[in-house]
Amino acid sequence: MLWVITGLFYGLFMSFYTYINQNNKINGYILGLWRGFGVAFACFPLILITPFEVDFLFFLLLFVQGLLTGFYDSRLFFSSARFGAAGTSRILVLSILISMALWWSTHPSVFIELWHRHFVLSGIFFSVLLTVGSYLFMLKTSITRQLFFYMMPAVVVWSLMSSLTQIIMQKHTLAEGIVYYLFYVTLISGFYNLFFYLKTSHPTRTQFLQQVFNQKVMYVGFLVVLFSALLIVSKSISLNYTPNTGYVNALSLTAPLWIMFYNHVINHKDYDSPVACLMMIGGVFLMSIFANL
């Protein structure tokens, strides 16, 4: 059940991570480079005391994950500023189906085993459909179509990232995998966002310093670094022990519930549904039970 507990923490930290730019509306690439370089800098002492592994394939996976992370981060930050955190977090529900399909296609023996356990497989499908169905009730806004087409590339990338994270965590010890991820993956994502920020904004040196290091951006950037580091650790532990990466993505969907709570506290207009909330909670609860049978 460790993967369930850490997966729920993953959802909590993800809600902070998604929510942070709803009202601040900072350039997504700037927050992405803060997230990347900030986490890498904070974890630099850890990389110095972690054994260096000469493994070309392992570092290739870290590099690819870094590029995917850079794309996902900036898209998430831009979407939160444009569409709000609630809709942005809820659209990620579609990643459950993609992640499960990826996992079972690359681990067919797992699916075959479940196929012979009809009750468990039926329970998993029911809980997943219940969770995905809650999305249809949650998101009834005029921007659904725009949000869908804007975030779908990020949804696919996020599903790929979950599968890659599990592979990375299982290549070496869990502690080493987390340290490597915290440093190398975030560093590459930082360079990704720096490149696209310079390419799209063409800032002068003075503009760069003013936009990246003004007081507001530094404060938000610090929060992004903090919650991002906590998110990576909880997600990595959960994915290392989960029987299917799609299950962890489903647990992360508790993030919309937290975001609903934040929006209600500040009286921000949100298109939530009590019925959808109960469906999501019920789906996640049933999934955690069937996945551990």
Query: How far, in Å, CA of 79 to CA of 31, rounded?
Result: 13
For the entire predicted model, the pTM comes to: 0.81
How far is CA 177 from each of CA 57, 61, 173, 191, 265, rounded to the nearest angstrom? 14, 12, 6, 21, 38
In angstroms, the CA 5 to CA 256 distance is 17
Q: Note down pLDDT in tens along the chain; length 293 residues.
A: 676 778 777 778 888 888 888 888 999 999 999 999 999 999 999 888 888 777 888 899 999 999 999 999 999 999 988 888 777 877 777 777 777 777 777 778 777 887 888 888 888 888 877 877 776 676 555 456 788 889 889 888 988 887 888 788 778 788 888 888 889 999 999 999 999 999 999 999 999 999 999 999 999 999 999 988 888 888 888 877 777 666 676 666 677 677 777 776 766 666 556 677 677 777 777 776 776 66
Q: pLDDT value at position 268?
A: 63
pLDDT score, position 232: 84
Contact 37, 227 (CB under 8 A): no
User: Locate tokens 């806004």: which residue?
Assistant: 141
Provide the pLDDT for residue 26.
92
Rounded-to-integer distance, Cα 238 and Cα 45, Å: 24
| Residue 128: Cβ within 10 Å count | 23
Q: What is the pLDDT of residue 190?
A: 96
- Tell me if 187 sits within 8 A of 34, measured CB to CB: no
Do 31 and 224 contact (CB within 8 A), yes or no? Answer: yes
Nearest to 20 by CA among 186, 254, 221: 221
* Residue 69 confidence (pLDDT): 94
pLDDT at 89: 76
- Cα(81)–Cα(199) distance, rounded to whole angstroms? 20
- Written as six digits, the tokens of 109 are 């023996």
Q: Are 110 and 263 in contact (CB under 8 A)?
A: no
Helices 118-138 + 95-106 axis angle, to 10: 150
- Helix residue ranges per DSSP H, 172-254: 174-180, 186-201, 205-212, 215-241, 245-251
